[in-house]
Structure formats: structure tokens, C-alpha cells
Chains A and B, each alone.
Chain A
Amino acid sequence: MSKHANHEVDVVIVGAGAAGSVHAAVLAAAGRSVVVLEGGPPRKLGDLYSSQLWARRLKWTAPAASDVGADGAGVSFNGGHGYGGAAIHHYAVWPRLHPADFRMASEHGRGLDWPIGYETLRPFYDRVQADVGVAGDAAQEKWRPPGAAYPLPPVPAFAQGQAIARGFEARGLNTAPLPMAILTQEYQGRPACLMDGWCDAGCPTGALANPLVTYIPRALQAGAEFRADAHVTRVLMDGAGARAIGVEYVGAGGVRHIQRARAVVIAAFAIETPRILFNSATDKHAGGLGNASGLLGAYLMAHPSISVFGMFDQDMQNYLGPTGGQLLNQDHFAKDATPGALGSRQWMIAQALKPNDLLGIAMSRPDIIGPALDQFMRKAARGLGNMVALCEPLPDAANRVSLGAARDAHGLPLAQITHRYGNDAKTLIAAAADEGAAIMKAAGASENWRSPIAGQHLMGGCIMGADPARSVTDSLGRLHDVPNLIVAGPSLFPTASAVNPTFTVHALALRSAESLVRDWAQFG
């Protein structure tokens, strides 16, 4: 296989998704030469067809990882591949972490602490929110941590949201508009959302904060170079094992390339990021880069979640609104709010529905087949309401990404995922299921039911921490033992909270990238 050596650049970034694109935009704007290597295709807005079938092309197929634990982590559904990564078709529910999420171990004696507190991240949340446009109602969202008001008015509640909200109210529970990185008015030249629930297929209008319309254009304008179909196999180290000197990747036609760089950012999402670090082992780092603590790959987390469904007699207009939902409830967000479990939980209420697909109408009752199905479909297309409970998984070192026996087309070991939910997570889910049934009943649903547990979002695997013996990176994502090798993305989370991770992924990436700019003398 031939090898092609490229000119050295300041920074090479692996992965053109949410985290990688923020790094690219900030570093390029500061005058650094930046190359972004993306393993998938060079997607553009025009590829985002309105179809749940076609949406499946946006997922990650190769290299595949095997899931061997008791509870699958949902690796195939949770990934993305190509410019924009998973964020190209994410649903843009963007709540912030709460201050208590950063102090779980010190306040409850279980879980882990973050090396930073909410106050450190707060200004970065505020700036990202202004950069991309987030819609919400800070006053009504009474659980919201302190921060700048939302730049945009909230997404509206349609018939489905209004009906289910009445159930919350009848049970003495609160709702507020769901905070979303979706434009409700024109913002910075991007148009407002049309509220038609095609978020999962990727939003081609630019209303949803998809990297193709947020940080990738900024990075390109500032001179960053993006290379698609560039699959990174490993990080290259200097002889002393002290510094990363670039990466190796396989480009079009199977040609191997070397990209030298003064700093390397790995933003390849929760499975591939630790896999690349394992596959980069050298004699000085026999267990993989960043693995002096033995914790590389450890503490993988997926949010345990369930959907709760209710059938209503009224027309719920359930095809309207964003796919992520219309309303939020965090009444049970305090870590000890659910008896018998430690952890937060939240409701996302009134997801827009399509007839087919994993989260569609037909799959809500997988047991119905034969002539009864069409009857169900016609009724549910009018009357189905739904909401999703997202619960907190405690970090468990036994849940992890490691290397399996299978190899990819380039001969490198594939990732293997070992994952199961702990008892706290199961108790939180059971409490949510009971509460959800009561809410649907109170809202007037003639019948209600719930889905099995599914894993949403992947986090952990390269956790940040203050103590190098108990974490992989510092709070900026720099490997404790290789400071010019930086991890970005949800891999860094030491705990998962019960909120969707991508707003926090952006805030962490902005903080990390700006620190690189500030400290560049150490790298250049």
C-alpha cells in the first residue's frame, strides 16, 4: 500500500461532526492552519432528502463495532458518518447540564465529579447559544440553571403538546417549552423552522443547528481544509512518546497518508475516539495512548430512555413540530428526587411522528400485525401522542469500549462495547413509566403503553478529571500524558446527567479550542 505524506499543519482534527467543527472554526479563525479528516462522505444540505428510509444512509456502517454487554448501547442508531457527523441528523434538544451534575461524587458519594463546575462552562453555553441560535423560554423553564436568556422565542406547542401538557398539569407537574437549537425566527441569515418533523432525515433548510450551517461554514471561511473519505487509523507519536506528531489515515482508493501536525484533536465520537487511541499503542504507551490510568474506554454511558404513548380521540396533529418534542419537564431532576435511585430524569414531550421508522407510529406497537395493523395506523395517525423519558446512567468502569477480535478492512481491531444498565437506572425508568402512564391517563388518553428501554446518546470512554490516576484527560480534553493530543466530544463526560449532550459538547469544545489558541506557544 502506498503512503502519501502531506505538509505539516498546525492542527489536524479527526471527525467533522459537532465537536470537530467547533474546534476547526475557532482554530482556523485564530490563524492556525487546520486540516479536518472525516471518515465519511462529504455531505451537503442537498443530500438531506425528506424520507425516513433515505435518512438511514446518514448512519455509520463501517467500521462496525460489536455490542457484547447485557444491554446494547444502541451504537448503530446513535452514530453519524460524513460531514456533520451524528449532529447532521440530531434533534437539537439543547438543555444545559445543571450545577449538581458536576458534583455527584462529592454531594452523594457515588458517581464522579467533573474537574470543572457549571460556572466555568456557563459563559461558553451563553456564547454557543448566541452563535447558533437557541429557542426557549427561560422564565417558564423554572429548572434552568443561570445563564443568558434564549436568543429566540420558543418552539410552539401544537395540539399534541397542549393535550399532554394538560395531563402534567392535572398531576401537579410543570411543563415549559423545550429548549432547542432550532430557529423560530430568521437568525443570522438562516430561515425559521417549518415545524414538519423531518429532523431525523437531516434538516436541509438550515433552521436546525446542523454543523453544515453552523461551524463548518465558519471553519471553511477561515481557511480550514476538510477532507472526506479520510479514515484515521492511528495517532503517530514522537520517539520519546511525549508528543503526538500527526495521524495516519486511509483515503480514497485505500491509499495510506500521513498528516503531520503540531497538535491533534480526536473528535470521532464515543466509540471511535477510544478505538483510535487504543490502536495507537506504542512501546511507550503499551495499553494505548492516554491509558496510564487503565481507564481508556471506561465509563461508557448511554441514557436509558423509554417512550410513553397515549391514544387520544382528538386529532393530535402529531405530524407537526420538531422531531425532538415541544415541551420539557424536569420536576424530578434533583439527584435524589426518585425514591430508591440516585440520578436525574427529564421528560421531552410531544415528538413529531412519522408513520414508519424506529421511532415512528407502527413501531410503537410492534406486536400488531395482519389486518389489525392498518386499522391501528389510521387511528394512530390522528390520535397518537407520545413523550420520552431520559434518565441518568451512573458511570460504571465496567461499561466500556475495548478492542475486540474482529478487524476492519485496514486490518485494525474493531471496537467492542460492553454495556449494561445499573439498578439505579432501572429504578428511574420504572418510576418514569409509572408517572408517564398516570400523565397520559390524566391527559385523557383512552389507552397508554410504553416502549422497551433504549439507549440514547453515547458518552464517556475518555473521561476528564483532575486526577491523572483516575481519568484520561484534563478539563480541556488534553491527554494527561500527551498534552498536544486533545479529545473532543461526549467521550469526555465523567457523568451523563439526564439532558441531551450536544449543547455541552459544543461548550466544552469552544473552551478547549480557545485554550489551544491561548496556549499555542506550548505547541507551535
Chain B
Amino acid sequence: MSAATLGRRGLIKAGALTIACMVAGRLVRVSPAEAHAMAAVPQVLSPMEAETLGHLCETMVPGARAAGIAEYVDSQLAADPSESLLIARYFGVLPPFRDFYAAGFAGLDAAAKAAHEKPFAALAADPALTLAASLLAGAPSGWTGPPARLFYLALRGDAVDVVYGTQAGFEMLGVPYMEHILPPRRW
């Protein structure tokens, strides 16, 4: 990439800032207060569901919990479906998306209980990884709810989104972000 194009990118950025001014307040980064609000009690998920989600996503994509997976999914379930950023949309999951997640968590717990007599959130790292991995091949014994493979792909996708799909994630991989317009928030 030439110096000239890189130089011009700066201009585009300046343009983006102008756009931000025009739609006042939309192009802001997360403030500490907002972050705190996001980390507060989930609005849609039950505390147990948030725990199951955190454990499953951390198992599949290490770093997902610290990157805010529970806040991410919870905030997207609280949003109007047309504004939702969830990758489940691409897999043909129909709104309300909450039903898909709730049924998947129930299925996961049923499978964990069938194999280990414990809910998924109580499984140690190894059995959690084995059970999570088995979802891709199809429903493990005891599973109820949406197709297990679909649930796996959607939740792995969510975890990848929060760990690798933001500016911080790109930076961790050494991939230049090269934005034209930064999103107003991480999600």
C-alpha cells in the first residue's frame, strides 16, 4: 500500500469525524460509565444463563469472558431484532433470538447432566471442551433444543466476534484495522 493511499485514508477519517458531528453523539467510544452499565446485571439473560454462556464461549474461544461475551449477547438480545448484531441472523435464526439462546442453554445443560450429572456451567475445563466440541457433529446424548451444530456455530461466532472482531482483537492479531468510519461503540 502506497504512502499516498495511506495519506488519503487520513482524509477519509477526517471525513468520518465530520459525519459524526452531523449525527451528534453517534460516533463516540465507550465511556467508563457506559462500560459499567454494560457490565451490570443482564437485562435479558438470567444469571444462570449468563454463566452458561460465559463458560461455553470461554471454553470455545479463550478470552471471551474478559472481552465481554455476556454483556455483548445480553445487549443484543435486548435490542430490536433489526438492530441486532448477532451472527445468528446469518444462520436463518428467526427473532425473537432470545428463544434460540434459551433453548440452546437448556439443551446444553441437559446434555451435561446426561453425561456428568451437572449443569454445563459446573463442568471443569476438559469435559466442557469435549462436550462443546461434540456439538459440531450433531446432538450429544440428552440434547434438546435447536440443532446442536447451529447452536455451536452461532455461539462460537459470538465469542470470535468479541475476542477477534473488534479493534482490540485486530490489534492482538497484528491485523491493521484500517477503518473508514469507526462504529459508535464496540457493539
Contacts and interface: CB of A to CB of B under 8 A. Distances in A.
Q: Do A and B come together as binding partners?
A: yes
Interface of A: 45-46, 48-54, 56-57, 59, 61-62, 64, 66-67, 72, 75-77, 81, 191, 194-198, 203-205, 319-320, 354-358, 360-363, 366-367, 369-371, 373-374, 377-378, 381-382
B47 interface: no
Interface string B172-184: 0111111111111
B156 to A, nearest CB: 6
Given A356-B157, A362-B164, A377-B173, A49 B23 contact: no
A50 B165 contact: no
Given A369-B132, A370-B62, 16 more contacts: A46-B23, A49-B182, A49-B183, A49-B184, A57-B82, A64-B94, A64-B95, A194-B180, A198-B179, A204-B180, A319-B175, A355-B173, A356-B161, A362-B157, A363-B160, A370-B133
A196 B152 CA distance: 30
Contacts of B178: 50, 194, 196-198, 319
B92 interface: yes
Contacts of B69: none
A90 to B, nearest CB: 15
Contacts of B165: 51-53, 354-357, 360
B8 A194 contact: yes
Nearest to A382: B174
Given A195-B1, A319-B175, A319-B178, A57 B83 contact: yes
A360 B175 CA distance: 13
B181 A48 contact: yes
A248 B155 CA distance: 40
Given A48-B180, A354-B165, A366 B175 contact: no
B151 to A, nearest CB: 12
Given A355-B160, A369-B133, A50 B187 contact: no
Interface of B: 1, 5, 8-9, 12, 16, 19-20, 22-23, 59-63, 81-87, 89-92, 94-95, 129, 132-133, 136, 152-153, 156-157, 160-161, 164-166, 169-170, 173-184, 187
A481 to B, nearest CB: 34
A360 B163 CA distance: 13
A45 B157 CA distance: 27
Contacts of A195: 1, 5
B87 A62 contact: no
A195 B2 CA distance: 11
A373 B95 contact: no
A67 B92 contact: yes
B2 to A, nearest CB: 10
B87 A374 contact: no
Nearest to A40: B82
B55 to A, nearest CB: 13
A194 B169 contact: no
Contacts of B23: 46
Contacts of A52: 161, 165
A451 to B, nearest CB: 12
B59 A369 contact: yes
Q: In this complex, which of B5, B164, B175, B183 has the most chain A Cβ atoms within 10 angstroms of its Cβ? A: B164
B117 to A, nearest CB: 23
Given A64-B95, A195-B5, A319-B176, A53 B187 contact: yes
A377 B182 contact: no
Given A53-B165, A366-B153, A381 B179 contact: no
Nearest to B23: A46
21 contacts: A50-B177, A50-B182, A51-B183, A56-B86, A57-B84, A61-B82, A61-B84, A62-B81, A62-B95, A75-B92, A191-B8, A194-B12, A196-B176, A196-B180, A203-B180, A355-B175, A363-B157, A366-B136, A366-B156, A369-B61, A373-B62
Contacts of B1: 195, 320
